[in-house]
Structure formats: structure tokens, C-alpha cells
Chains A and B, each alone.
Chain A
């Protein structure tokens, strides 16, 4: 049997993760849909790892500049997204 292309493995991960997301998100209580958006927005900024690779090399290049801007934007999102999520979640309390 010939070797499987890495793309197929990635596609497998992608499809399975979509299903996991589907079932997990349906179990999110509607009261927390705004924090859900804020936190998904923060975690999608994990795209910052791509920016890190671009900005990482020592020599100056277009890629490095693009990576630097991408990294700044993603950092705004990561810090902003997690902070605002935390702020919202702290406000939810239950009357005992």
C-alpha cells in the first residue's frame, strides 16, 4: 500500500474537529452565547503561531514585516478576547 499524503491526515483532523465542535457548541447554554463568541474569537487567534514563524528568522524580509503586523493583530485579539470573556463570565451569578 502506498503512503498516505499528510493532507489526508489533516483533512481527517479537520473533519473530526468540526464534528466535535458541532456537538460541544450545541451544549452551550444560550445565556452564554456572547461569551462563546468572544472566546472562540480569542482562540482562533492561535493563528499567531503562523505569524511567529514569519517574524522569527533573523534576516529582514517582506514575510517578516507581514508576520510582525499579523502578530500584533493576533495579540490584540488574544489579550482582548480572553479579558473581555473573563469580564463577562465574572458577572454571571446564581441566587442561592
Chain B
């Protein structure tokens, strides 16, 4: 069945509108599920519209690819642990990047099928630039996401990899890529195209290795953005409005998330990209001498919390690693039985990707109206009896607020120190990712609970 170009374009328009509605639905958890449904309809429309194109006849191949990909995708998505969501998203980004490279390569090999040739059969000049750009951004997205994945999965160290002259080398490669791109636009030789793409794969690795584990929320958001721009680049090549619109939506979405993450760390986007900051292990531990801390047991903590009127729980990446969210919710349930008001405070960069903590708490069946964002809940700490910090560190460090000489000065923090009592669950006194000591540990109203987050929370539940 053949339908006219106009009808196809209108079908793509409908798909684009549905994608916008899907993102709009995410403004509230109540509307988000129907939003996801709109996106699925939009995708179905886009695929079917293209599949009934008269040029498309190899349905056996198409179904095979669809079934293989669909089975793998569905299985992985159903099995993945919520704590591993950052790795999964990084892996998925890499696939979009690779798909962009392959589609650009296919358009180069068979431009006639995409209608991007002129009368003499050579590829239109603008299409050459578009496919090269799409391929380059796709290649960077692919290899960058693979590096991010290996760091998040713990296959390689999360520490930044830095070497002298790194940025100059990147700059040099960047310039060569642009030269090759321009040369390809003039010459239309596949060798130039693939050389440029290969170099883009390489630079994707080079720009992500210097970025440390704790900066991953920015990296993932940035790669999300890149995957969108790559899709848009391919959309221009194929003159496909659905792809252009989607690419633009995704590109701006990732860019906004990157901006939000950088703002939450009080760092400029460039300082994150240039890297060298935020390893998993601290490089320079600030020796503070022997300062005494109040260490307590699970029983002590249970006693304090049971007699409190209100508790704010501050979860961080440590909670995710220990998988303590389920025990934490049990603890909150017990406290609520005792008449304690329990809420959760989330810092925007807690975890390894934007919104990571919210998903983990939701997984543990915590209702989302008990979970508050930093700017909403921060003023409530002063009137709160107990702040229970579990697996977070730097985002509670008062030095960020009070000490202009601190490397994290200016970063918005959760004001847990203003609560009457601070319970701090931590394995040891080691500093956080920024490699700086947290003055909070040594305060009189702080009780340190030295243990694994999950084990301690379980002990607490028993003690309550």
C-alpha cells in the first residue's frame, strides 16, 4: 500500500505531537503513565508509516531485526535492578549513537533510497554535511556511553583518567574531525566519511575518561543530549520531520538535565567536561588530626528516633550501593507507627543519575508525596528533631555553605546540621568524592553510626 508524501508527513506530525505529550505527562507521576502510552503510540505510528512505504519490501529482515531487538530489550528491561538504572540508560544511549552511525553509513552507501541525490547521482551537498554530523555525534555518543557504562558498572575504576596534554590532544582530534568533515562534504568519499567516524569514536572515549564517577549525573545527561542531536542530524539527512522534532526534544531535554546537575554541584559545565574531579576514592585526604566523634549503635539511634516528633531521611548513593531502600522504608513504617512524622529529602545530584534516589525509594514502596526536593524541604530542617543521613556525604557538608576556602563552597546543600540531632550512617570517617572532610561528623549534635547502610537499617528496624 502506498500513501502520499503529504499523508506520511502528517503521520510523522502526529507522532511528534504524541512524543511532546509524553514528555508533558512527566510533569506529575499521576499523568506520567498515560504519557508513556502516548509515546508508544507515537512510535508505532512512525514505524508503520515508514514500513508501508512502497520501497520497503524485505519484511522478513525487518521482522527478524525487530524480534531479536525486541526480545533483548524487553528481557533486559524486565530484569534490571533499579539501582543499576544509570548503567542501563548509558548502555541504551550507546545503542542510539551506534544506530545513528549505521543509518548515516547506509545513507552514504545507498543515497538513492533516501532521496538525497541530485540529477547526476551524487549526494546533495547539504545532505553530506548532515549525515557526517549525525555520524560524528552518534559515534561520540556511542563510545562515550560505553565508557560511562563501564565506569558505572564498576568494570573500570570510576577515577578520572588524566594525562598531560589531554585537552590539547582532544582539541587536535576535534579539529581533524572538522577538517575531514569539510573535506567529505566536498569530495563525497566513503574513506573520508569512515575516517572521520573512526576518529569520532576515539574522541568519545577521550572526552569521558577524565570525568570521575561522582560527575556521572552530568555525563549521562550530556550523552542523553548528544543522542538527541545525533538523531536530529540523521533527521535532516532523511528529511524526516518526526526524527528532527524528536532529536530536538531529546537534545534539549538532556541539555537541561546537564544544566540542573551542574547547578546542583555549583560547577560550570566546562569544568565538568574538562574533568579530573570526582573519583570514587579520595585523592587527598585532609588530615584534621584526632578529633573526637560521637559514635552510637543501632539501639541508640532507634531510641532517639522513636522519641522524636519528626525525622527527615537523607539518602545518597551509599544507600543505592547497599540496597538499603527496602529496610529504610520498613524503618519509616515503624517510626510512623510510633507517631513520628517521616519525610525524605533528595539532593538533585544524589546518586549517579538525575532522579536516581526517587526511583529507588519508589521501588521500596515509599509514597512519592513523602519525598521532597531540596528547595522545598531545606527550610524544614531547623524545625526537625532528627536528620537521618544514609549514604550521603558532600551534599550535607556545611563547608559548602559556610567556608569560602572549601573546594565545594557555593554548592547548594541540604541543611541537615540545623536539625536538632543528626544521625549519620557511614562505614568510616573517610571523606566524600570531593576528598574533603565533613565538619558535621565532629559536631556535638551528630551521632555517627559506623556500619553498612543496609545492615544498620535492619538492626534499627529490629530495635524499634
Give residues in A with beta carbon < 8 Å to B: 6-7, 10, 13-15, 17-22, 24-58, 61-64, 66-95
Contact = CB atoms under 8 A, between A and B. Distances in A.
Given A36-B354, A39-B22, A50-B234, 7 more contacts: A10-B241, A21-B20, A35-B359, A46-B242, A76-B92, A82-B36, A92-B368
Interface string B370-385: 1101000000000000
Contacts of A90: 33
A84 B88 contact: yes
B39 A79 contact: no
Contacts of B230: 47
Interface of B: 15-16, 19-20, 22-24, 26-30, 32-33, 35-36, 39-40, 42-43, 46-47, 49-51, 53, 55-58, 61-62, 64-66, 68-74, 76-78, 80, 82, 85, 88-89, 92-93, 95-96, 98-100, 102-103, 105-107, 109-110, 113-114, 126, 220-221, 224, 227-228, 230-232, 234-254, 256-257, 260, 346, 348, 353-356, 358-359, 362-363, 365, 367-371, 373
A47 B236 CA distance: 11
B77 A83 contact: yes
Contacts of A20: 20, 248-249
B94 to A, nearest CB: 9
Contacts of A76: 69-70, 72-73, 76, 92, 95
A41 B103 contact: no
B355 A35 contact: yes
B249 A92 contact: no
Given A13-B241, A57-B55, A42 B39 contact: yes
Nearest to B28: A29
A90 B363 CA distance: 9
Nearest to A6: B239
Q: Which 4 A-B pairs have the closest CB atoms?
A: A75-B69, A80-B73, A56-B56, A33-B355
A51 B57 contact: no
A90 B126 CA distance: 44
Contacts of A22: 252, 256
A45 B70 CA distance: 12
Most buried by B among A15, A64, A92: A92
B80 to A, nearest CB: 7
A40 B92 CA distance: 11
A42 B96 CA distance: 9
Nearest to A70: B102
A90 to B, nearest CB: 7
A25 B74 contact: no
A68 B46 CA distance: 18
Q: Is the interface of B mostly helix, strand, loop or mixed?
A: helix
Nearest to B351: A34
A54 B115 CA distance: 12
A17 B26 contact: no
Contacts of A86: 33, 36
A20 B17 CA distance: 11
Contacts of A95: 367, 369-370
A81 B355 contact: no
Contact of B55 (A32, A33, A56): A56
B55 to A, nearest CB: 5
28 contacts: A13-B244, A14-B232, A17-B245, A28-B26, A32-B29, A32-B355, A33-B257, A37-B89, A37-B253, A38-B85, A40-B254, A44-B228, A45-B99, A46-B246, A47-B234, A50-B106, A51-B103, A52-B62, A53-B55, A57-B110, A58-B58, A64-B58, A75-B68, A76-B76, A82-B39, A84-B85, A91-B363, A93-B29
B243 A83 contact: no
Contact of A92 (B29, B43, B56, B239): B29
A86 B38 CA distance: 12
A24 B23 contact: yes
Contact of A35 (B20, B26, B70, B236): B26
B58 A47 contact: no
A88 B362 contact: yes
Most buried by A among B20, B46, B102, B235: B102
B246 A31 contact: no
A44 B250 contact: yes
A86 B37 CA distance: 9
A37 B346 CA distance: 18
A10 to B, nearest CB: 6
A71 B26 CA distance: 28
Contacts of B103: 47, 50-51, 54, 66-67, 70
